[in-house]
Amino acid sequence: MEEIKEGAVCPACHKGIWEYDWKEEWLEPYTILKEKYLVGAVSMAGTDFVRYIGYDLILEQKVWLRVYSKDAWKEKGEKEARLLFGKFGLPGIPGVRDYYESEESGYMVTEYLTGQTMRTYCKKNARMSQTRAESLWLSLLEGLEQMHALGLIAGNLSPDTLVVTEEGNLAAPGAPALEGEGSRYLAPEQREKEGVTGPWSDVYAVCAMWYEMLTGRPVPETEEREKTGRLKKPSRYIKISANVEEALLQGLAMEPQRRFFSIQNMKESMGLSETSEDEWMGVTRHIWGDAWLETAGSFGSSGKKRHRRYLLKRLAAAAVILAAVCGITAGGFWIYRETHREEVILWQVKRDRNEYEDRIKEEKLTKESQAYDTVLDFLETYGDKDDVASGDRQDYYELKEEDLEHCPELYGTEKGFYLDVNTAMEALEYYMDLEGRADLSTEHWSGTGSVNKADEKEIIIYLSKAEEYYIRESGEKVNVHFDPSDNQLQYISFQGSRERCARFLEKMIPVLLSETYLTKEEAEGMTNLDFQVEEAVVFGKMYSLTLPGGYEILLSVPTEVISAAQRENTRKNIPDLLKVSISGRNRGMQVLEEGVTYAGNYPRGSKRYQEFLAFVKEHASFKEENGDEESTLLEDRQKTVYRLEKEAVEEWGEPCNFVRFLTDKDTFVNKLTDR
């Protein structure tokens, strides 16, 4: 993927196109995928996918292209692509830039990492020191921890699939599982047909390579170790600290239950862990806890090991207790339901909120801002000026998606949620049972910039990408809008039956909005309102509800049902079709209205709620009765608006929109104790 100026020989590798190794089933060179990805040479082929070097013709940069068979894509590739899409901050783990599927294959596009393979590096640096090995591994270990916390394992780590980057760190660029020499690094359970794999399997591969880096000798094959049952200590070949040696030997145990459960367990034993990693550990235990207990109880069924069954049961019980304790204490992780999938989703929601609060994204750019001139230059260079809309007071520019790479900082004023769009879609698929049935039907990008020519000279940039999904079999439809610069969700809608729309409101609002929720009865009450079209009115009735935090729910009868080809099927399956949409609030979300302080938000019917109501009525400086029944969605909603002065709010002394669970402490502790 270096430019060829003359002839047909690559100036980097000095080969012509057909001098590379090719197989009939591989993609031919110069194939263009999705009208933007140029296919180059095969860098590695394995049992689950073929990896090509590629070139993004739009962004003009190298990428890795993975091409899966249909079965491998459904079994592994699609899940990995979905969970790693847009995640470019995992150390040593390339983020997924794009993924899609055709009738025959699945495709994943990832970041391109340069460097030499670990095997090549180790040949030049045989029997390296303990300190050097640690410095190589530390970054990738953190990436593997986060990968495990997403519900994934690498599963194919070997000196041939890892690279040493130019910065001197190990990285796993997503190589396919290899046969032959690479298989010696597989954990024993990965060779068993009924073996249960998990983070402990990656631990084995890491320790096997670490052992080889220090000693210059590979760990014996599984069959050989099963015969001898012994592994020579690294201290026979190299000076090594006792804790690192013990950790490597434990990580190379044949039985998973004798190994470390996770990468962090191993790092703690080596003295390399950090307290900031506790949150990853808590999530990993929740995702992989059941699988760990399963492998601990099932691996090795020979008569010689029956004596260990009692010990295994005790280990399993201890692991359950430890998992529960870690789940409560690790990084404030939310235990919300019993299934791991739901726990992970809610952890992702918490993570997205924390990342949002840490992210600085200004609503507008003024002349005093440091980046003003740079962003203005970006608009004038890459933006298409709208001469019709522009005038003496303001200039307007249309932006293209491919030009975002050139913008130094992105700004936006579009309303938004805390959530990343990928978190929202994963939650939607889980709660609405849409997995494997949501097909992307249309997508649309829009980007504009405006420059105020008045004294304030403000620059405002608006970015949004819309994706519409058609749900196979049911005829339902999902629409999401998000900011493509950071994937922040802006808008989400669901179109289906009244019953399904009620479920959407009940299940998704606690995920989308941590400040509030709707009960099942309230959600059903909203979807059972009268939406009939009145005489001489083109559109049906629409109802809106503004929630705490400035979010808005809109309920309506769709006027156009998806497409002409799908209309008949949809109406047949969903005669009571409704559409529910939720719009995010403005980015400046500290106050709902400038100069106004908000207070309150207590569980309805609680003693504190009654006390607060009494306080409000006594101290209110403004009171307005809402007598319009048509504008009221729910009969039990408060129809009187009170306003308090700042002094009264301070006298009450408690914040508004306080994040709380839907249970009280005693009930939670009792249930936890019982379980």
pLDDT of residue 635: 42
pLDDT digits (tens, 9 = 90+) for 439-489: 888 888 888 888 888 766 788 888 888 999 999 888 899 999 998 878 889
Enumerate the H helices of 383-476 as residue ranges: 421-431
Q: pLDDT band at residue 1, thresholds of 50, 70 and 90? A: confident
For residue 211, what are its two tokens? 């052992």
DSSP string spanning 310-374?
HHHHHHHHHHHHHHHHHHHHSTT----SSSHHHHHHHHHHHHHHHHHHH----S-B-TTSTTHHH
How many residues can be counted in the chain?
675
**What whole-number distance in Å separates Cα of residue 615 and Cα of residue 600?**
11
pLDDT digits (tens, 9 = 90+) for 240-279: 999 999 999 999 999 888 899 999 889 989 988 765 556 6
- Residue predicted with more confidence, 235 or 224: 235
Q: Does any domain span residue 6?
A: no
Q: Does any domain span residue 198?
A: yes
pLDDT of residue 567: 52
Q: What count of other Cβ atoms lies within 10 Å of the Cβ of residue 586?
A: 12
Domain identity same for 658 and 568:
no
Domain identity same for 180 and 316:
yes
Domain identity same for 129 and 248:
yes
SS3 136: helix
Q: Does any domain span residue 356?
A: yes
Q: Which residue has 């998992």 as its token pair? A: 323
pLDDT of residue 111: 92
The dihedral through the CA atoms of 650, 656, 659, 660 has a sign that is positive
Q: pLDDT band at residue 363, thresholds of 50, 70 and 90? A: low
Domain identity same for 501 and 372:
yes
**Predicted TM-score (pTM) of this structure:** 0.50
The phi and psi torsions of 536 (rounded to 5 degrees) equal 70, 15
Enumerate the H helices of 361-447 as residue ranges: 372-382, 421-431
- For the chain, counts of helices (H) and of strands (E): 20, 20
Q: Does any domain span residue 342?
A: no
pLDDT of residue 587: 39
Q: Does any domain span residue 460?
A: yes
Query: Cα 127 to the chain's mean position, in Å?
Result: 38
Region 625-654 average pLDDT: 68
Q: Is the pLDDT of residue 530 over 90?
A: no
For residue 15, what are its two tokens? 């080969």
pLDDT of residue 606: 63
Domain identity same for 505 and 436:
yes
Characterize 377-411 residue by residue with b for buried, 16 or more Cβ atoms within 10 angstroms of its Cβ, and e for exposed.
Answer: ebbeebbeeeeeeeeeeebbbebeeebbeebebbb
CB 154 within 8 A of CB 178: no
pLDDT of residue 515: 62
Q: Which domain holds residue 61?
A: 17-111
Q: Does any domain span residue 600?
A: no
**What whole-number distance in Å separates Cα of residue 484 and Cα of residue 466?**
9
Q: Which residues pair with 39 in a beta bridge?
A: 54
Q: Does any domain span residue 138?
A: yes
pLDDT digits (tens, 9 = 90+) for 319-352: 444 444 444 333 333 233 334 577 778 778 877 8
Domain ends where: 111, 137, 152?
A: 111
We report the CATH number of the domain holding residue 250 as 1.10.510.10
Q: Rounded to a whole number, what is the distance in angstroms from the first to the last CA of the chain?
A: 57
Q: Is the pLDDT of residue 603 over 70?
A: no
Domain identity same for 283 and 304:
yes
pLDDT of residue 373: 84
pLDDT of residue 580: 92
Domain identity same for 529 and 398:
yes
Domain ends where: 79, 111, 143?
A: 111
**What whole-number distance in Å separates Cα of residue 288 and Cα of residue 276?**
20
Domain identity same for 107 and 136:
no
Domain identity same for 107 and 126:
no
Q: Which residues pair with 397 in a beta bridge?
A: 385, 449
**What whole-number distance in Å separates Cα of residue 591 and Cα of residue 310?**
59
Q: Is the pLDDT of residue 235 over 80?
A: yes
pLDDT digits (tens, 9 = 90+) for 77-129: 998 888 888 888 889 999 899 999 998 999 999 999 888 899 999 888 877 88
Domain identity same for 302 and 403:
no
Q: Does any domain span residue 343?
A: no
pLDDT of residue 257: 86
Mean pLDDT across the chain, nearest whole number?
78
We report the CATH number of the domain holding residue 64 as 3.30.200.20
Region 416-430 average pLDDT: 88
Domain identity same for 277 and 191:
yes
Domain ends where: 71, 89, 111?
A: 111
Domain identity same for 107 and 142:
no
- Residue predicted with more confidence, 124 or 136: 136
Q: How many domains does one find in the chain? A: 4
pLDDT of residue 315: 44
